[in-house]
Amino acid sequence: MKLIDLLVKHLGNNGGWPIGAEICAQDNDCEVVFYSAPGIHRGENNLVWTIPAGVESAVVKRRIFIKLADDMETAVIYRGQYEAALAASKVKEWDGEGLPPVGTECEAYDGAQWYPAVVVGHYDGFAFAWNYDHRITFTVNEIDSHNFRPIRTEAERKRDAATHAMASAPKPCGHAIYGICCEIYDAIAAGKIPGVKLEGS
C-alpha cells in the first residue's frame, strides 16, 4: 500500500495532519516524520529522510508509526495531497440513483452524447459537473438526474458500440430495433447462441 493510502487510513486516529507541517515522509523503521517545509532528501545511509544544510525546515513534533509503505523510499506527501485524498475517500460510491455527490467521477449527457465528468458542486437542487478535456459544464436537476450515470465498464462500452452499430444498419422497422439488438448482444455474451461469441471472450 502506498504512503498516501496509509495516511488516509491511519492518520485520523493519530491526531490528524499536524499544525505547522507541510510535508511528511516515512523512514525505514516505519516512522512517519512531518516537516515544516519541502526540501528533505534521503540521507547517506538511505534509511531516513534528512533536512539538507541551508534548507529552512524543521521537524514537526508529531511522529507516528504505521505499516511500511510500498513507496517508502521515494514518497514525499504534501499536506494538499493528503487533504485531497482524504476528501476523495469520503465520497461514497454512487449507485446511479438521484444526483451524484460532489467529487463523483461519472458520465454526463449533453443531449447528443455522453462525456466523462466530475461533479464539482450542488446548489438549490442542481448538480454541476465539469469535463476537463472538452471544457463542458453540465447542470442537472433531480428530475433529469438520468442525464448522469456511473462510468461505464469496458464491457459496457463494447456492448454500447456493438448495439449502436447494429441499430444503425439499414432497417425497415425504425429505432425500435435497438432494443432487439441489445437483447441479441446479451444473448451472445451469455453464450446462448451456439456458434457465435464475442471477440476476446
Three-state secondary structure of 71-96: CCCCCEEEHHHHHHHHHHHCCCCCCC
Residue 68 sits in the same domain as residue 33: yes
Q: Write the pLDDT tens digit of every residue in 183-201.
A: 777 877 887 766 667 776 5
Q: Of 89, 124, 140, which closes a domain?
A: 89
Residue 129: what pLDDT?
A: 93
Q: What's the domain count of the chain?
A: 3
Residue 171: what pLDDT?
A: 56
Residue 144 sits in the same domain as residue 159: no
Q: Write the pLDDT tens digit of every residue in 68-89.
A: 999 999 999 999 999 988 888 8
Question: Collapsing DSSP states into helix, strand and coil, what is residue 187?
Answer: helix
Phi/psi at 94 (nearest 5 deg)? -85, 130
What's the average model confidence in pLDDT over 24-42?
93
For residue 132, give the CATH number of its domain: 2.30.30
Q: How confident is the model at residue 25 (pLDDT cuts 50, 70, 90)?
A: very high
Q: Is 50 a member of any domain?
A: yes
Q: Is 97 a member of any domain?
A: no
Q: Closest by alpha carbon to 79, among 42, 24, 3?
A: 24
Q: Is 96 a member of any domain?
A: no
What's the average model confidence in pLDDT over 2-13?
92
Residue 26 sits in the same domain as residue 60: yes
- pLDDT mean across residues, the chain: 85
* DSSP per-residue string spanning 10-36: HGGGGTSSPTT--EEEE-TTSEEEEES
Residue 74 sits in the same domain as residue 15: yes
Beta-carbon contacts of residue 184 (< 8 Å; ≥ 6 apart): 166, 193
- Is pLDDT of 174 > 70? no
**Cα separation values, 17 from 41, 47, 50, Å:** 20, 23, 20
Residue 54 sits in the same domain as residue 75: yes
Residue 24 sits in the same domain as residue 68: yes
**Within the chain, how many helices (H) and strands (E) appear?**
4, 11
Q: How far apart are CA 97 and CA 18, in angstroms?
A: 38
Residue 42 sits in the same domain as residue 62: yes
Residue 145 sits in the same domain as residue 167: no
Q: How far apart are CA 101 and CA 21, in angstroms?
A: 30
Q: Which range marks the domain in which residue 178 is found?
A: 154-189
